Amino acid sequence: MNSPKFRSWLLSCALPLALAACGSKDGGEGNATRGQELYVKECAACHSLSASTENAPLHCGLFGRKAGTVPGFPYSEAMRSSRLTWDEKTLDEFLTAPYLTLPGTIMGFPGFALEQDRKDVIAYLREASKDPGQCAK
């Protein structure tokens, strides 16, 4: 039951039905609470909201910021020259498959395959960025 064909079926048929049965809404807004759980699990090993680390730039102030512009962080040439400005659309595209969206990126994350996961993380990032306790202006 671990064949590629089965995984493909699971992702395209069974999983959406299961999510629908649990009350998940396709095309709905993101759930910031669930997004925080995903952020902690998948992003926080490298990223922080309030400070850049040696591995990743900070996420506070992300919306509206040009990619590759946090002072002092050694971005890849691909990121610095990308001309991306972070918003819901560009984050969704990038978080789907970073290596395909921006070849040459050094972010070591394969992406969130599920649209709802991306919406949830983006909702969390947007909400957390407004919190002065997380993101002092």
Instruction: Using the Cα atoms of residue 76, residue 77, residue 82 and residue 85 in order, give the sign of their dihedral.
Output: positive
Tokens (6 digits) for 49? 């909201």
CATH fold of 31-129: Cytochrome Bc1 Complex; Chain D, domain 2 (1.10.760)
User: What pLDDT score does 4 carry?
Assistant: 52
Integer Cα distance of 69 and 48 in angstroms: 16
Which pLDDT score, from 0 to 100, does residue 134 have? 78
Instruction: Give the pLDDT of the chain (137 residues) as one tens digit per residue.
Output: 444 553 444 344 433 433 333 334 444 689 999 999 999 999 999 999 988 988 899 999 999 999 999 999 999 999 999 999 999 999 999 999 999 999 999 988 999 999 999 999 999 999 998 887 777 65
Distance CA 116, CA 122 (A): 10
- Assess contact for 105 and 80: CB atoms under 8 A: no
Pull the structure tokens for residue 51.
């400070």
Predicted TM-score (pTM) of the model is 0.76
* C-alpha triplet 87, 93, 95: angle, nearest 5°: 90
Give me the half-sphere count of Cα atoms (radius 13 Å) on the Cβ side of residue 129: 16
As annotated, the residues of the chain forming the CATH 1.10.760.10 domain(s) are 31-129
